Amino acid sequence: MTGKGIAMKELPIHMELRPESGETLYEQIYGFIRNEIRTGSLLQGEKLPSARFLAEYLQVSRTTVDMAYGQLVSEGYLEARPRQGYFVSAVEGLCVIEQPAPGRKQEPGVERGQAQRRYDFSPNAIDMHFFPYATWKKITKNILVDANSDMFSLGEQQGDAKLRTTICRYLHGSRGVNCEPEQIIIGAGNDYLLLLLEKILGRHVHVAMENPTYVRAYQIFQSCAYPVSLIPMDENGIRVDCLRQTEAQVAYVMPSHQYPTGISMPIGRRMELLKWAAEEEGRYLIEDDYDSEFRYKGKPLPSLQASDSNGNVVYIGTFSKAIAPAIRISYMVLPYPLLARYRQQCGFYSSTVSRIDQTILNEFIEDGYFERYLNKMRKQYRMKHDLLLGELRPFHRAFKISGSNAGLHLILTDRRGRSEEELAGQAEAAGVKVYQMRHFRMEETDREPAMLILGYGALSQEKIKEGVALLKKVWL
């Protein structure tokens, strides 16, 4: 071996830096630690040396170590805890990171940090098999034929009036949302809209979230340095009595189909929540209606916004889930007091979506393709949903099965006192990836029974059957 070999006595790290390897120093440090985690030499929860310590120890710059740690954090191997340092993550927690890190191609069939897995019940993935590529191309072509300098100019800050009118009509018809096109802001994805909303709400906002919740929204509020209160849920959703005990002014909720619990909030709880919001000036509810398009049982409940008569609800939705992730178009419906603030404080922010993309989407909806596609996908997802529910019939004695009215995933709650790690580990060993609820809990709660999340959006019917058969062997 060449280069300097370093053994850290206090830590199970023995690192070799090889200057002649062609890899940069930070890539070597990154690769070494990643490997230690993958092979189990560094275990979940273990603390890493501070970046400063490691830099001095290895005689490299602080930035080099920061880069390596940063890469590992962004890929989900490490987590940074403020004022505490870096810790090895639960590797199953990686589901929240949807993409391989830049520059690092994922080998086909092999997921990051895991042995080969053939059945991935991801709750994030969607089925693109039936996407009408030809229609999309045709619309694009037609639009470009007539395109002129107007189409290539910068559009209105809030989004093109035509598309806002179309979205307004769609939301009213399908979700009961009451709004005018002028209340709609179109933006390049929900993450961007939440950043913009921060600028509208201001710097000092205390946010409440359901626990468990959508991890990225939590991360965004964290990166906005908002204090976040995590509110427990019961079978009807967020507990408004607990919400009342916090200082929160804004609550981020998913009433139609909570992610990841799958709970649909009944009307009584909705009214309680709206009452809370109306009680004090400046309280708002952010309704993330991320997958309301897919509902399989009973009459779809309208949005929370539809029941709001006081202008306390900010409604957010996206076309990424219902059409394709590449469609970077989301929308936010602002109540008038916030719309006024938007215009005063943020009206100058340029639109983040090109006019061309807005025009394509508008035609896709206006010409009826969106509705047809939604109906087709609803049927597809319902078939998979029913199939999965059917295949899970033998599981009912060992698990409670819930969240089955809507969305693209189900929840299995263990009745036999086993742990999520244990169950997910057994599945893993059998070649099946399931997702653990604890990775969506942003705070430890009282000892809860193990809950596993099974998404079926992207799996074929065959894969669903085969995957469940494997789970049956190891879990029942």
Residues 373-402 that bind its own copies (CB under 8 A): none
148 is a contact residue toward its own copies (CB under 8 A):
yes
Q: Is 113 in the site for its own copies (CB under 8 A)?
A: no
- Interaction residues for its own copies, span 406-465 (CB under 8 A): none
Which one, 78 or 240, has the nearer CB to its own copies? 78
Q: Kindly state whether residue 111 participates in binding its own copies, applying the rule CB under 8 A.
A: no
DSSP states of 220-289:
HHHHTT--EEEE-EETTEE-HHHHHTS--SEEEE--SS-TTT-PPPPHHHHHHHHHHHHHSTT-EEEEE-
| Closer residue to its own copies, CB minimum distance, 91 or 147 | 147
What is the closest distance, in whole angstroms, from the C-beta atom of residue 459 to its own copies in the complex? 15
Q: How far is the CB of 395 from its own copies (least distance, A)?
A: 31
Q: Report yes or no: 288 and 253 within 8 Å, Cβ to Cβ.
A: yes
Nearer of residues 81 and 379 to its own copies, judged by Cβ: 81
Q: How far is the CB of 228 from its own copies (least distance, A)?
A: 15
Is the separation of the CB atoms in 335 and 312 below 8 Å? Answer: yes
From residue 50 to residue 79, what is the string marking binding to its own copies with x (rule CB under 8 A)? -------------x--xx-xxx-xx-----
List binders of its own copies among 354-373 (CB under 8 A): 354-357
Judged by CB, which is closer to its own copies: 320, or 404?
A: 320
Measured between alpha carbons, how far is 133 from 126 in angstroms, rounded to an integer? 15
In the bound state with its own copies, the residue whose beta carbon lies nearer, of 80 and 242, is: 80
Q: Is 84 in the site for its own copies (CB under 8 A)?
A: no
Kindly tell me which residue out of 158, 312, 405, 436 binds its own copies, with binding defined by CB under 8 A: 158
Residue linked to tokens 């509705």: 371
DSSP H/E element including 12: none
x-marked contacts with its own copies along 204-223 as a string, rule CB under 8 A: ------------x--xx--x
Q: Is 60 exposed, middle or buried (0-12, 13-18, 19+ CB in 10 A)?
A: middle
Contact 433, 94 (CB under 8 A): no
- Closest CB 374 distance from its own copies, rounded Å: 16
Residue 309 is a binding residue for its own copies (CB under 8 A) = no
| Smallest separation (angstroms) from its own copies to the CB of 345 | 6
Look at the chain and count its residues.
Answer: 476
Nearer of residues 9 and 203 to its own copies, judged by Cβ: 203
First to last CA, the chain: 49
Q: Which of 117, 172, 206, 341 touches its own copies (CB under 8 A)?
A: 341
**Which is closer to its own copies, CB of 45 or CB of 347?**
347
Cα angle: 308, vertex 310, 316; to 5 degrees: 50
As measured in angstroms, the least distance from the Cβ of 203 to its own copies is 5
Residue 152 found at the interface with its own copies (CB under 8 A): yes
Stretch that binds its own copies, among 130-138, 267-275, 289-297, 459-467 (CB under 8 A): 130-138
Q: Which DSSP category does 19 fall into?
A: G
Cα-based distances in Å from 106 to 36, 138, 160: 19, 32, 37
If the CB atoms of residues 141 and 416 are measured against its own copies, the closer one turns out to be: 141
- Can you give the C-alpha Rg of the chain in angstroms? 24
For its own copies, the binding residue among 23, 46, 111, 156 (CB under 8 A) is 156
Tell me the C-alpha to C-alpha distance, in Å, between residue 325 and each of 101, 318, 451: 17, 9, 27
State the residue for tokens 């929860």: 45
Find the binder of its own copies among 1, 9, 116, 154 (CB under 8 A).
Answer: 154
Residue 355 contacts residue 155 (beta carbons within 8 Å) = yes
* 124 vs 126: CA distance, rounded Å: 7
Q: Is the dihedral of CA 265, 267, 270, 276 positive or negative?
A: negative
Long-range CB contact pairs, 145-151, < 8 A, 24+:
147/356, 150/355, 151/355, 151/356, 151/359
Does 101 help bind its own copies (rule: CB under 8 A)? yes
Q: Is residue 472 within the footprint of its own copies (CB under 8 A)?
A: no
Binder among 260, 311, 455, 457 for its own copies (CB under 8 A): 311
* Out of 213, 351, 405, 436, the residue judged to bind its own copies by CB under 8 A: 351
Residues between 221 and 240 with contacts to its own copies, criterion CB under 8 A? 223-225
| 96 part of the interface to its own copies, by CB under 8 A | yes
- Of 294-302, 324-332, 373-381, 411-419, the window that binds its own copies (rule: CB under 8 A) is 324-332
Q: Are 404 and 60 in contact (CB under 8 A)?
A: no
Binding track over 160-179 against its own copies, x by CB under 8 A: -x--x---------------
Collapse the DSSP code of 348 into the 3-class scheme (helix H, G, I; strand E, B; otherwise coil) and give the result. Answer: coil
Q: Which stretch binds its own copies (CB under 8 A): 7-15, 97-105, 393-401, 428-436?
A: 97-105
Cα Dmax for the chain: 72
